[in-house]
């Protein structure tokens, strides 16, 4: 039997060797104090104009290089527009990631966003379409010499977007290498996932307070419990479910009382520094192959905002 300290070192060493072979972009340094930001641009892909299965926004680095792709499912199982997450997606792309954000109901084609099977199937179709068309038709003119390493695909969700990601993971254990659930929810994630994929589940202090947008028992702690090692969960102090979206959208959330909102200015640090830095450290560890970044995912004193708690299960036993 090997302990995690042995197997994790071996795995991360393998990642680093892999990096040297295909020269994928690797971010170095403190991700919360970003000293080198890549240029970033975006594409809006339309079902009618471009033929993509559903409207998709792609945010990508413009500097020449090989980059890690991330598939992002926004809140309400893709009903929330990706554009309201622009602060987070733009900052994250500047660390060396190409984000494909899927509008699963653009322009409100269906009225049942709880059809998780339909959502997962459509997201897989978008992913396959991007693999075929993005580098052959769009990136050469938009960002010459930018390529994508689809073998390192990461997953990202906010809120009920996590339900779609779980359905995708349950149906295919080979297509992704790491996953992040930001304040997730799911009505179908009842049994533990039966294989290992590195996961990070995040929650916020106000998310479970009334009016609650995270239901106790099926949110971030539940996701952490049902994922396999290696896995991390944290609850961030002083912010809420809508703090991650851009300020205009946050105002709508605040005025509607849809979710409990924060009354301080920490949400700007949260969306522009904390979350992009946290994601860059987690994905940088498991997708870019920079093991030095793991401390920024697991050490609260390195983070720009306090956390109520942080739990990890990294001591994986491999037979």
Task: Give Cα separations from 103 to 45, 68, 73, 82 (angstroms).
Answer: 10, 21, 8, 7
Cα torsion angle, 157, 162, 164, 166, sign: positive
Domain 4-313: homologous superfamily in CATH:
Alpha/Beta hydrolase fold, catalytic domain (3.40.50.1820)
* Backbone CA torsion sign across 53, 56, 62, 68: negative
Residue by residue, pLDDT tens for the chain (319 residues) are: 444 444 454 444 443 433 333 589 999 999 999 988 999 999 999 999 999 999 999 999 999 999 999 999 998 766 778 888 999 999 999 999 999 999 887 665 555 556 888 899 999 999 999 999 999 999 999 999 999 999 999 999 999 899 999 999 999 999 999 999 999 988 889 899 999 999 999 999 998 888 888 877 678 999 999 999 999 999 999 999 889 987 877 777 777 777 888 777 789 999 999 999 999 999 999 999 999 999 999 999 999 999 999 999 998 875 4
- The answer to whether 162 and 197 are in contact (CB under 8 A) is no
Contact, 287 vs 279, CB < 8 A? Answer: no
Please say whether the dihedral angle defined by the alpha carbons of residues 265, 88, 241 and 197, taken in this order, is positive or negative.
negative
What is the reported pLDDT for 80?
79
Residues 6+ away with beta carbon under 8 Å from 24: 18, 65, 66, 67, 68, 149, 152, 288, 289
């Amino acid at each position: 039997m090997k302990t995690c300290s042995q197997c994790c070192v071996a795995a991360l060493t393998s990642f680093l060797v892999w990096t040297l072979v295909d020269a994928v972009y690797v971010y170095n340094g403190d991700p919360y104090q970003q000293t080198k930001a890549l240029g970033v641009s975006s594409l809006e892909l339309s079902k009618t104009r471009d033929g993509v299965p559903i409207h998709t926004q792609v945010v990508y680095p413009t500097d020449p290089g090989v980059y890690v792709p991330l598939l992002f499912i926004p809140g309400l199982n893709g009903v929330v527009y990706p554009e309201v997450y622009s602060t987070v997606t733009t900052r994250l792309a500047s660390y060396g990631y190409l984000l494909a954000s899927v509008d699963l109901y653009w322009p409100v084609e269906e009225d049942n966003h709880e059809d998780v099977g339909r959502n997962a199937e459509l997201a897989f179709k978008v992913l396959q379409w991007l693999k075929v068309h993005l580098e052959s038709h769009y990136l050469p003119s938009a960002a010459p010499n930018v390529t994508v390493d689809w073998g390192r695909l990461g997953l990202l969700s906010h809120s009920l977007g996590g339900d779609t990601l779980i359905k995708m993971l349950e149906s295919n254990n080979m297509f992704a290498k790491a996953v992040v659930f930001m304040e997730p929810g799911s009505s179908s994630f009842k049994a533990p996932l039966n294989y290992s994929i590195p996961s990070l589940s995040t929650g916020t202090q106000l998310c479970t307070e009334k009016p609650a947008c995270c239901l106790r028992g099926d949110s971030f702690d539940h996701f952490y419990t049902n994922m396999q090692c290696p896995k991390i969960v944290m609850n961030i102090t002083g912010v809420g479910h809508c703090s991650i979206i851009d300020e205009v959208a946050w105002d709508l959330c605040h005025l509607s009382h849809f979710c409990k909102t924060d009354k301080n200015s920490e949400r700007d640090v949260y969306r522009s520094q904390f979350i992009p830095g946290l994601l860059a450290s987690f994905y940088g560890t498991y997708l870019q192959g920079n093991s030095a970044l793991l401390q920024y995912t697991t050490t609260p004193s390195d983070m720009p905002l306090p956390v109520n708690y942080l739990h990890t299960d990294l001591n994986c036993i491999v037979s």
